[in-house]
Each structure stands twice: as C-alpha cells, then as structure tokens.
Structure 1
Amino acid sequence: MSSFARTLNFTSANEDGASELAALALTADDHVLCLTASGARPLDLLLGQPAQITAIDINPAQNELLRLKIAAYRALGDDALYAYLGLAPTRHRLDLHTQVSSHLAPASRAFWESRRRAIAGGIWHSGRWERVLRLGAAGTRMIRGRSIDRLFDAATLDAQASLWRDHFDDGVWHGAVRLLSQRWFWTHLIGEPGGAFLPPPAESEARLTRLFRRAASSIFFRDSDFAALLFRGRHTAGGALPLHLRPENLGRVRKHLDRLTIAEAGLADLAGTGLGPFTAFSLSDFGSYCSQPDYDACWRGILASARPGARYCERVFMNPVTPSACLAAPIVPDMVRSAALSRTDRAIIYDIRCGHLAVPA
C-alpha cells in the first residue's frame, strides 16, 4: 500500500458527477466532505454551489494533483486549460506550466518541478489507472476495430444494446473480464492494493458482465467519459468529459474555486481532525480498499462528523462490503434513488448507494 499511497494513481476521471449531484441535492448551506482521488468529483461538486467542499485524501500526491488543477483553472483560459491538461495537442505545455506554477504554493511548485515529464506529456493521462486503461484500449481496438466506432455512433439505445450483444458480449470479452477479476492481476501486475479485497472471480465476472449489459441499454457510451477511456484510451476536448471540464461549466467552476479546501486525512480519522461537521459526503468507492474492520472504522468516522440528516453517496466497484450490523442503523439508504442512479450512471462500472444519516443532534 505504501507505493500506492505516494504516487499518482488516478489523474483523469472515471465517475459521473451528475449522479453525485443528483444523490446529494446540494444547497448553499452545505459543507461537503469529498474524497480527492483525481480531483474530478470535488471540482464537479462545485457546480452544486455548496458553501464549502473539503477534499481529503491519505495520498498527498492526489491532493497535489487537485491543487495543480485548481491552479490551472486560475491561470489559463479555456483552450489553454485543455491543452495544458493533455486534452488538446500543444508544443507549449511546459510554457503553460510556468503560468500555472505562479498560482501554486512553494511546496506544491517543488512537487511538480520534479515531475516535469508528466506535465509535458499531459497530466490528465499520466496516472497508473490511465496507463492501464490505455493499454487495455489498444488491445480492444486490435480485436474490435470499427465495431467501437459503430458502438459510439449508435442512433438509439436499442441499436447500441444490439451492437454490444452481437460484437462485444462474447467469449473474448468474458475472458478479459475473467482476467480482470483475478486478485493477482490487480495486486501484482497493476499494483492496486484493492485487489486483495476482490470477491471470488466468478462473482466479479458476473457482476461486471451485468453492469455492461445494463449500461448498453440505458446510457449512450459516447456520452460516457469512462467509456472513452476504456475503449479509446483517452479523453479529448471535443469528446465526453466530466462535468467540470465541459465548456459550458468552466466559468462556473472558476467562480467557486475558493469554496474548495484540501486536507490530508482519512475517513476513519475524521472525528479528530476538526474539519467537520458535514452535511453531505461524496465517498466514491472507498470500500474497494477496505477489509471489514477498516470499512467499519471509516463509517464510524463519517457518522461522528455528520450533521443530523446529512446525505451520502457511495460507489461500489468490485468489493461489495457493507457496514456491520452494529453500525447500520443510522445509515438510511434510499433504495429507489440508488437503483435509478445506478442504472443511469455514465461511469458504468459502479453501483450507487445513497441516502441520509440519522445521527443524533
């Protein structure tokens, strides 16, 4: 876990901020606790215009990435922002970085000075997860070829579902999913500590197969920034993007950057940090990295720092862990909304759990 907790593991976006905003229904009075990861969700949540967002991560590199993205928003215009991040081509990325650096604190400036190669290549696609997806997309392109373009160009959901069934949901796909469901693949090849908590391969394979079949008939893959990474290996300024990078939202995000603060902390430690209390929690898939005791400890921290009635949104990827019975009572799920958001979430690979926290005043 030590290497994973020090390097840039996620640098782009593979979640759907629209689901988070729908689940949390933010207001101008909210103080949101959000896990940092790539910084995409904290920036997406600014569009809900809460009073404050506190982004936390135990990995200082991920927090530095969010600081860099905030600085890029402040320093650059729209086209330059896309070019700097790596969403559009440019030969002047390091020159743009000079402008961005002027908006960084000295410690953050030094952090990125030692990573100029990642900056020059476009920080958006430089993470561990992004490299894995890029390799996978190259393999998919060799096998599926023009079927990918046809999938992204489908005129209707019925047509897309038919294309998925006839050209993707086959033995080759199932074999790839089966490989991805092996613990050794995640822990030894990718270096992902969450692989230690995967359920049996047959269970993981069945779940991922179900999720992609569901997505093929409920969302357009061309509108999914995760699908762009999975099948094409990268994001572009003219393609599907997370909410905070869509052209119509750039100005709104810039306007509210001061509402976002960053701290190094973990969910289990929230009660002792003084960062709360919080009225909303954007939790991503933290359970993917947790044993049952660690998962319960995280929920204790969440509950201890929550205001009565606080809303939460959690994502479930490969490890479907749930709170132990002794913690479950104040965690009140909204099963109808959770199911609806899971069905329409453009990140495809997650189930959504959302609801409210019935903690005492």
Structure 2
Amino acid sequence: MADFSTTLNFTSANEDGATELAALKIQPADHVLCLTASGARPLDLLLGNPARITAIDINPAQNELLRLKIAAFRALDHEGLLAWLGITQTPQRLHLHSKVEALLPPASHAFWQTRRRAIAAGIWHSGRWERVLRLGAAGTQMIRGRRIDALFGAPTLEDQGRIWRDHFDDAVWHSAVRLLSRRWFWTRIIGEPGGAFLPDPAASEARLTGLFRRAAESFFFRESDFATLIFRGRHTAGGALPLHLQPQNFETIRIRLDRIRIAEAGLADLGASGLAPFDAFSLSDFGSYCSGEAYDACWRGILAAARPGARFCERIFMNPVRPGTALASRIRIDEAQSAALTAADHAIIYDIRAGTLSPQ
C-alpha cells in the first residue's frame, strides 16, 4: 500500500469551511496558517478576506494538489472547473487539463504527468479516503436503497430525524460503525496511521452514532457536502458543495488566489520555519495522528509562531487528546463557542475546539 506521507489521501472536502470562518473571525490584515490536506480549507478561508494564507503540509502530494486546484481556478470558468474536477461528467476532461497544466510550475507539471489517470477520472474523487467513502456509500445504498432518497428529501427536520431513527439508526448501522472503529481496519485495510490512536471500538461507536443522531435532528443532510459523500459516495453540481466551489463564491476565490503561499512544513517546527507570525490557525484534526508527546510538540510550535491573542480552530475526530498541563494555560479554549460550533458543524463527525493563544 502506498505510503500515507507521500500519496494523495484527501482530494475532495470532508469539513465545513463555515465553521472555520466563524471561529477565526478573520480580519483584512490577518496572516492565517492552514493545514493543506485536500486544499479545500485554504480555498474556503479566502472568503474571510485575509491578507495572506500560508498552507503547510508534511505530505508533498497534498501541497501539489492545492497547487493544481489553484491553477484550475485560474484556467477555467466555474462550469469547466466542476467538469475538470469530476463533479460533473465530461468527455473533455484531459482537454480541460491541458489548460490547467499550462499554468503549473515545472516541478508540479512533472508530478501530475505521472498521475494522468487520476486526472482523467476526476481528481476530486480520487483520494484514498474518497475511495473508502465511495465503497462505504455503495454498501449503504445496497442496504438502505430508496431510504437514502427519503432521507435527503425530507421536507422537515422532524421528518428527517424520524427517518433516521426508524430506518438508519439500527443494529446494522451500529455494527458497521463498530467495525470501522477497529484499529486493524484503519491501519491494515485503509493504511491510515491515525488508526493507532483510536479509542475503544465501543466508545467510538457510541460517539459516532450519537453524532449522526444529533445531526439528523439539527440540519438537513442534503445541505452537508460530507453527508453527501457518506451516503451518496460523490458530489454533484446540484448537491451540497464546499464553500469554494459554490458558484456565488467562484470569482471571489479566483481574485484572491495570490494570497495563498504553500510550504512543506510541520506544526512542531513552525516557530523556526521562517513562515511566522500568524494571527489565526486552521488546524483541522492533526491530533488524530499524534501521541500525547507529539501533540504537545505541535502546540509548542504553534505557540512559537503565534501573535498574542491569535485565534485557532481545531477539529477533533477520534483521538480526544488534550494539551499537557504546561501548555493548557496558554491555549485558551472558549468552551461555549466550541460547543456551539460543534453543534452547527455540517461535517458531523468532529468536535470543534476554538479559542485564543497566549504565546508567552
């Protein structure tokens, strides 16, 4: 199996950019640090109108993906972008790609020359996790059938909650979640190193099934691009899309692309990277890949790169690690804001931690 640190692991979007924008309260002079991943969050954060965004990742493939998407925004109109990504169908994808690759720097051009099969299939759905979600959605469709259409077409939240309780939140669903929560499944089948830090399967099952139950009563699944991936297996132009792909935001994103700087760096070394200082941090769920010691090392790097009062937004997936006592007083979590953001987040599976930083 390909090395997780060098392959394309995430290519679409499985987070809710509106949450980061609400948490970070970006100001026009702000310099924002964002983990690259699929490139969705750096692009979404441009809607906050920051002065600069520095996107970092220790995986060069994820940084190349962001460079590729930036070139596509520059080369194509909105309709062409969705077709090139694979969100809509077209027989002209490689023709569209010829316009995109003409804008790539030489090293990026060479990187994508060896991955033309993924481009031809539509890069949006070609990542490791996108393939896993697509397989999971196929299994769900076999079992639930038209119930998925009913779930996504529910006229009210009350109806959606009832459909979820009556036709989804059952023994089959709980067993599937428990299976997917086992460390061996993540590390051996998916090849996900974060599996090493998963909690007990029973605890994971209780947490995740509870989060979906709450979400079914809180917002429409048809308005969640992550729920769409979970149950449909792919995005479509007529369904929920991340902020940067919504048509009303296309031109705003396009004219702000030069504000993104991409670097290969890790959080632990951020203070010595020469990239700082930062006013805001979009941290995704880096804790999923950390022991307690590594997690604290990352926070020391973040604090070394932060301006006083810098805002942060962190996502917590399955590893509920917290900063050690020596750091906790410098990482001021706004519990009320974090709870409100968690409840509203359309990505369903995350707890949100948001607050401010005191570097000294």
Residues 2, 333 of structure 1: CA spacing in aligned structure 2 closer, same or farther, 3 A cutoff?
A: farther
Question: Does the residue aligned with 2:199 lie in a helix, a strand or coil?
Answer: coil
Amino acid at match of 1:119: I
Amino acid at match of 2:42: P
Cα distance in 2, alignment partners of residues 233 and 295 from structure 1: 32
Question: Does the residue aligned with 2:15 lie in a helix, a strand or coil?
Answer: coil
User: What residue in structure 2 maps to residue 240 of structure 1?
Assistant: 240
Give the drift of 1:237.
1.3
User: What residue in structure 1 maps to residue 169 of structure 2?
Assistant: 169
Question: Does the residue aligned with 2:354 lie in a helix, a strand or coil?
Answer: strand
User: What residue in structure 2 maps to residue 154 of structure 1?
Assistant: 154
Residues 1:333 and 2:333 are matched in the alignment: yes
1:37-91 Cα shifts (integer Å, max 9, x gaps): 0000000000000000000000000000000000000000111111000011011
Cα distance in 2, alignment partners of residues 145 and 98 from structure 1: 39
Amino acid at match of 1:336: A
Cα distance in 1, alignment partners of residues 21 and 124 from structure 2: 23
Amino acid at match of 1:32: V
Residues 1:179 and 2:179 are matched in the alignment: yes
1:1-361 to structure 2, matched below 5 A, reads: 3-360=3-360
Question: Does the residue aligned with 1:314 lie in a helix, a strand or coil?
Answer: strand
Amino acid at match of 1:219: F
Give the drift of 1:2.
8.0
Cα distance in 2, alignment partners of residues 213 and 353 from structure 1: 21
Amino acid at match of 1:87: I
Question: Does the residue aligned with 1:8 lie in a helix, a strand or coil?
Answer: coil
Give the drift of 1:258.
0.5
1:103-160 Cα shifts (integer Å, max 9, x gaps): 1000000000000000000000000000000000000000000110010011111111
Cα distance in 2, alignment partners of residues 57 and 23 from structure 1: 21
1:182-231 Cα shifts (integer Å, max 9, x gaps): 00000000000000000111111111011111111111100000011000
| % identical equivalent positions | 73
Amino acid at match of 2:213: R
1:315-357 Cα shifts (integer Å, max 9, x gaps): 0001010011111111001111110110010000001000000
Q: How many residues align?
A: 360
Cα distance in 2, alignment partners of residues 117 and 280 from structure 1: 37
Cα distance in 1, alignment partners of residues 300 and 219 from structure 2: 35
Amino acid at match of 1:231: F
Q: Calculate the TM-score normalised by the size of structure 1.
A: 0.99
Cα distance in 1, alignment partners of residues 26 and 157 from structure 2: 30
Give the drift of 1:175.
0.4
Name which of structure 1's ranges 157-166 and 124-133 shifts more when overlaid on structure 2: 157-166
Cα distance in 2, alignment partners of residues 347 and 309 from structure 1: 27
Give the drift of 1:359.
2.2
Structure 2 residue runs without a partner (length 5+): none
Amino acid at match of 1:44: D
Cα distance in 1, alignment partners of residues 359 and 38 from structure 2: 30
Runs (4+) off by over 6 Å:
none
Question: Does the residue aligned with 2:283 lie in a helix, a strand or coil?
Answer: strand
Cα distance in 2, alignment partners of residues 214 and 234 from structure 1: 23
What is the alpha-carbon root mean square deviation over aligned residues? 0.9
Cα distance in 2, alignment partners of residues 210 and 323 from structure 1: 25
1:232-261 Cα shifts (integer Å, max 9, x gaps): 000011110000000000010001001001
Question: Does the residue aligned with 1:90 lie in a helix, a strand or coil?
Answer: coil
Question: Does the residue aligned with 1:284 lie in a helix, a strand or coil?
Answer: coil
Question: Does the residue aligned with 1:38 lie in a helix, a strand or coil?
Answer: coil
Cα distance in 1, alignment partners of residues 51 and 34 from structure 2: 13
Cα distance in 2, alignment partners of residues 257 and 46 from structure 1: 8
Name which of structure 1's ranges 196-205 and 15-24 shifts more when overlaid on structure 2: 196-205
Cα distance in 2, alignment partners of residues 11 and 359 from structure 1: 33
Cα distance in 2, alignment partners of residues 28 and 137 from structure 1: 40
Give the drift of 1:102.
1.0
Name which of structure 1's ranges 186-195 and 210-219 shifts more when overlaid on structure 2: 210-219
Cα distance in 2, alignment partners of residues 184 and 344 from structure 1: 32
Question: Does the residue aligned with 2:130 lie in a helix, a strand or coil?
Answer: helix
Amino acid at match of 2:358: A
